[in-house]
Structure 1
Amino acid sequence: MSILLVEDEAPKRKNIRSLLEQMDLLGLVSEACSVGSAIRSLRSSSFDLILLDMSLPTFDIVAGESGGRAQGFGGVEVLRYMDRFKLPTAVIVVTAYPAFSQGDKEIDLTELGKNLEAQHPKIFRGIVFYNSMFSTWRDELKTKIEEVIIR
């Protein structure tokens, strides 16, 4: 099973990698840190699973570069790309935000999950709220990964 981990925050990425290592999946992981690098990875390789952050910079953040415009729904851009090119890869969203602003409206994770399910029914496999202060995210993510592996 090949996995693409799309995450721009190093501590969160490290914690997710730690979970994947415990699940004996770490050797199968590629990484991307922005919308742009995620799409480049999807163009050049195929994956069985994508662990996708929702809030991503447009481009990778490197010395002297800001990463372009921050996108609160950058993960949605990756999902749209996947739909456009009919990429069948399962996607689990892992976000540290309990809600997102959309115009003057706030969308909680339950509503976001329903929206993503409706818009991307063939690939979206769920959303996990990441909070480094608690371990519940680990159990939730592990369960969702195992569900994808079993399918």
Structure 2
Amino acid sequence: MTGSTSAAPGPRAVLLIEDDAFKQKELEGALLEMMPDAEFRVGRSVRQALSFLAERTYDLIVLDMALPSHEVRPAAAQPMSQPSGGVELLLELSYEERGDPVIIVTQHPEIEFDGRLYALGQFARAFGKKASANLRGVIYFNVLDGGWRAELQRLVR
């Protein structure tokens, strides 16, 4: 009888799109507890995230909604704040017909999409009517309440 062997799965590729250093550190710490083998790429702007998305697919994308247009560089134009920069990235994933799983983690109670504000619990449904992305869920990040960690753990599994 011939046995088959399968290669051990490699590290999970995680794209964390977050411009706030504190929130980035909190999210990385929580994700490493859940996925010790994770390899992170961190995008801090819409432009950088688009570049990383063009390079490969990811096992998980953790996405902030309010992102600057590009990174701050000496003697360059200041980045524009984009309250719905994360929506732009979701639309790109939809346009490219990508299946990368996405979890939104935001500090804002509403997300602007298609000219309207949606409560976090309603955003996925509203987005799904206009575009498609593998959106696993939306989490409200509140540093004073650790509930976001439990929700992240639930969605990562």
Aligned runs of 1:17-28 on 2, under 5 Å? 17-25=28-36, 27-28=38-39
Deviation string, structure 1 residues 66-89 (Cα, Å, up to 9, x no partner): 752111111110011111122211
Task: Give me the CA root mean square deviation.
Answer: 2.2
Task: Give structure 2 stretches of 5+ with no counterpart.
Answer: 1-11
Structure ID, larger Rg: 2
Tell me how far apart the structure 1 counterparts of residues 92 and 114 of structure 2 sit (CA, whole Å). Answer: 23
Deviation string, structure 1 residues 75-114 (Cα, Å, up to 9, x no partner): 1100111111222111110001112457995432122232
The alignment-based identity, stated in percent, is: 27
Whether the 8 Å contact between 2:105 and 2:138 is mirrored in structure 1 is yes
Could you tell me the TM-score, scaled by structure 1's length? 0.85
Alignment of 1:128 with 2:142, yes or no, is no
Task: Give structure 1 stretches of 5+ with no counterpart.
Answer: 147-151
Question: Quick check: which one's helix share is greater?
Answer: 1
With over 3 angstroms needed to count, the CA separation of the structure-2 counterparts of 1:142 and 1:63, relative to structure 1, is: farther
Tell me how far apart the structure 1 counterparts of residues 64 and 130 of structure 2 sit (CA, whole Å). Answer: 17
With over 3 angstroms needed to count, the CA separation of the structure-2 counterparts of 1:75 and 1:102, relative to structure 1, is: closer
Alignment of 1:14 with 2:25, yes or no, is yes
Q: Give the aligned partner of residue 144 of structure 1.
A: 155
Alignment of 1:32 with 2:43, yes or no, is yes
With over 3 angstroms needed to count, the CA separation of the structure-2 counterparts of 1:20 and 1:144, relative to structure 1, is: same
Which amino acid in the other structure matches residue 117 of structure 1? G
Alignment of 1:97 with 2:112, yes or no, is no
Where does structure 1 differ by over 6 angstroms across 4 or more consecutive aligned residues?
A: none
Which amino acid in the other structure matches residue 75 of structure 1? G
